[in-house]
Structure formats: C-alpha cells, structure tokens
Amino acid sequence: MDKKTDVAIQRELPLRMPILLGCLGFGFLWFALPVYSKILGANAFEIGGMFSVFSLTIALLRPMIGIASDKLGRKYFFIAALVCYSASMIIFSVAKNLSELYAGQIVSGIGSAMMFISAYTMATDLAGSNERGKLVGRIDESVARGYLVGGIVGFILFSNLPRNIGWQIIFSGYALSAAVGAWLGWKRVPETKPTEISRANGERSISPQIIKLMLIVFLTSASIGMVTPIFIIFLQDKFTSNIGVLIWAIIPGALVGAFLRSYFGQLSDRFGCSRIMALGLAGAGISSFLLPGLPGIVWLAIFWAFESVGWAMAGPAEEAMVADLTGHQKRGTGYGLYTFVSSMGASVGPLSGGWLYDSVGRFMPFYLNGVVLLTGALLVMLLLGKNRLPTMSDHI
C-alpha cells in the first residue's frame, strides 16, 4: 500500500462505524419483514409492494440529492440519512398493521436515498483513481457487517422473546444505534464538498459511457429486486419454516459480503472494473439458476455463498466505475443518477417477482433472474469493454 492510499483509507475510516450502526436494523428487517407481513395477512404481491415503495421513494429523491450534494456538501446528507434510519426503526417498533409497515419503509427509503450517495461520494472523493474499488468495497463491507451483526442479534432476541415485545425491543435498539451513528458522523466524518476551483477547472464532468452502464444497472437491479422479497418465503415453502435454521444457512453468504468486498474491489482496481463486474454477474446468474433445484439446506448455504461472491465482485466494481466516469465536481450527481436508476429497477422487480411467484410458479423468478444477470454480464463486456474505463478525473 502506497502512502497516498494509506492516507485515503485513514480519512475514510470515520465513515465506517456510523454506517455500520445505521445499518444494524436492516439485516433483520429484510428477512423478518416478509415473515411479519405474512403473519399480518399480506400476500406475496403486497409484500413485494412493500419493497417497491421503499425503492420508489429512493428513486424519486436521489437525483435531487445527488445534485444538492455537489452544491451543499456531502456530510449534511449523511447525517440526515442516519436520523431517518433511526426514525424508521421507531415506526417499525410500534407497527401493528401493513399501513404502518409501509410508512416505515417510506421513511427508511428517504434515509437510504441520502445515505449511499453521500457515503460513496465521500469515499471516492478521498480516493485516488487506482483505489476507488477498494474504498467503496470498504463502505459495502460496513453495510454488510451491520446487516450481519444486527440480523444475528435480532433473530436471537426474536426467537427467545414474546413476538410483540421482542419486535418492539429489537427495533427500539436499532433506532438507538442509528442515533448514535448520527452523532458519531457529526463529530468525526470529514466534509468533501467540491471547491470553487474544481467546479471551474473546465474538465468534462460526466462521460457518455455512463448511459451504457445505467442500462445494465437498471436490468440487473430489477432482476435482483425480483427475488429479494420472495427469497425467504421460497425457502420456507421449500425447506423449513424454522427461521433460525434458514438464517444459519444464509450466514456464509453474509460473511462474504461483510469481509471480502474490499478485496474484490481491489481486484477491480487492478484488473479493470468491467472485467470483474462481468465475472461477478455471471457467477450470480449461474447460482440463481441452480438455487431452485437444490436438494437440501446445506446445498442452499453453499450456493448462496457462491451467489454472494458474485455480488461481492460486481458491486464494488460497478460503484467504482461510476466514479471513473464522473469528475469530482459532479460526482454527487453521478451517484445520484446511478442510485436513481438502481432504485427504479429495484422498484419494478419486487412486484413482478411477487406476481410470478403467485401466478406462474415459485421457481420462475429465480430462473428469470439467472437469464437477466447472464445477459448483464454479456452487455458489460460488449458495451463497456474488457479493460478499465478511462477516468474523467484521474488527477484527483
């Protein structure tokens, strides 16, 4: 590691603990919300709609937030995101019907609209052009570790406490942790607002290549969004209704995301974002084809870990590519566009996945996901090339 890289990583470190604390609740929420909704009488379409409203909220806000972060700075949006996360967990803690769960999703969507634009932008602002994959991978690892730790604690408490009391205690704890994260962020996180000089330096701020990337992002985001809300329902229907058993089967995959994303991000810095992204999408697509036919829970754990490796490869490469294609003074706008397109795809996917699961067959969403991800891998190589894309701001 050279001195410049070491300095960038040291400056990026204060981002990681607030992100981890803010994301503790989501590891439990994404798996427990479909189950809790089903207990309240929701069908697969209504559960899918709950995930779609989250993604749609993000999609509507992110372009404006991206532009505003270039003008006003990144840090304020980062802190506001954590405050929204805390508020959403309070709503979930007292939710007794589907409408209140939808409200919690909307508030958490507002937080997520601000969180990832600000976090990715600050991380890549602090990075050189040859270290962006690694640093955004570290951000993703903080998110994944929050999901993992919060999910394990949440399910232990949920399994050993009365349902209503346990639900309230768990989400109250998540609300408190996000509030602590907001306080730490305010105290420790540096501002990386573009200077007037960087705005006026005349560099072309956004590459036309980013439109091709956005096409692939939309397709793959819609595809993974299609299987996300029905995945735990599928596992219950096929294997066991014991949530504890399912969680232990999923933990190997969660560990991949929590500890290997920065490593794969470093590979994208070395061998090219497009190559690593294409390889990751292809691996995740093949795993999706195989998941429905797995004969037992052990095989599920193995192939879920393989699919997680695919996403751990594709995610940081994709995120770093956005920074490669935007200049410093418009990087917030670039991440606003990227996260907007991703959210639009994710808002379409859950509704289609729920409909396919209910009306066509429970295997169909996974097969279609495999087709789309393999197509995405091919498009990356055809449209974005085999080598690292030329950056608009290598001098930063």
100-119, pLDDT tens digit by residue? 999 999 999 999 999 989 99
Structure tokens belonging to residue 223: 């595809």
Identify whether 198 is part of a domain: no
Structure tokens belonging to residue 227: 């299987």
Q: What is the mean pLDDT of residues 337-359?
A: 82
CA proximity to 304, closest of 371, 358, 234: 234
Identify whether 214 is part of a domain: yes
Q: What is the mean pLDDT of residues 378-385?
A: 89
Three-state DSSP state, 330: helix
Identify whether 394 is part of a domain: no
CA proximity to 105, closest of 40, 62, 161, 48: 48
Identify whether 354 is part of a domain: yes
Q: What are phi and psi of 151, to 5 degrees?
A: -65, -45
Report the distance separating Cα 43 and Cα 71, nearest Å: 43
Identify whether 389 is part of a domain: no
Structure tokens belonging to residue 192: 């990386």
Pick the residue with more confidence: 2 or 333? Answer: 333
Q: What pLDDT score was predicted for residue 208?
A: 76
pLDDT band, very low/low/confident/very high, at 391 (cuts 50, 70, 90): very low
Identify whether 357 is part of a domain: yes
Identify whether 44 is part of a domain: yes
Report the distance separating Cα 131 and Cα 5, nearest Å: 7
Evaluate the CA torsion angle 175, 181, 184, 185 in order and state its sign: negative
- Domain of 36, CATH number, reads 1.20.1250.20
Helix axes 297-324, 331-359, angle to 10 degrees: 150
Report the distance separating Cα 304 and Cα 253, nearest Å: 6
Q: What is the mean pLDDT of residues 77-100?
A: 93
Q: What pLDDT score was predicted for residue 197?
A: 44
Q: What pLDDT score was predicted for residue 112?
A: 92
Report the distance separating Cα 248 and Cα 238, nearest Å: 16
Lowest mean pLDDT across 136-150, 152-166, 176-190, 268-282: 152-166
Check pLDDT > 90 for residue 132.
no
Q: What pLDDT score was predicted for residue 367?
A: 92
Place of tokens 């397709």: 219
Check pLDDT > 60 for residue 6.
no
CA torsion, ordered 71, 76, 78, 81, to nearest 10 deg: -110
Q: What is the mean pLDDT of residues 162-182?
A: 91
Alpha carbon of 317 to those of 74, 136, 272, 327: distances in Å?
A: 22, 9, 8, 17
Q: What pLDDT score was predicted for residue 91?
A: 95
Mean pLDDT of the chain: 83
Q: What is the mean pLDDT of residues 46-57?
A: 82
Report the distance separating Cα 141 and Cα 356, nearest Å: 32
List, for residues 251-306, the tens digit of each pLDDT value.
Answer: 888 888 888 888 888 898 888 899 999 999 999 999 888 888 888 778 878 887 88
Q: What pLDDT score was predicted for residue 389?
A: 43
Q: What are phi and psi of 189, to 5 degrees?
A: -80, 130
Pick the residue with more confidence: 263 or 130? Answer: 263
H-type helices in 239-363, by residue range? 243-259, 261-271, 273-290, 297-324, 331-359
Place of tokens 């701001």: 393
Check pLDDT > 60 for residue 395.
no
Lowest mean pLDDT across 241-245, 251-255, 311-315: 241-245
Burial of 352 (0-12, 13-18, 19+ CB in 10 A): middle
Residues forming a β-bridge with 326 = 206
Structural domain total, the chain: 1
Q: What pLDDT score was predicted for residue 199?
A: 46
Instruction: Report yes or no: 328 and 396 within 8 Å, Cβ to Cβ.
Output: yes
pLDDT band, very low/low/confident/very high, at 392 (cuts 50, 70, 90): very low
Write the DSSP assignment of 369-396 as a string of letters: HHHHHHHHHHHHHHHH-SSPPPPS-TT-
Q: What is the mean pLDDT of residues 48-66?
A: 85
Instruction: Report yes or no: 313 and 262 within 8 Å, Cβ to Cβ.
Output: no
Parent domain of 295: 14-189+205-384
Identify whether 219 is part of a domain: yes
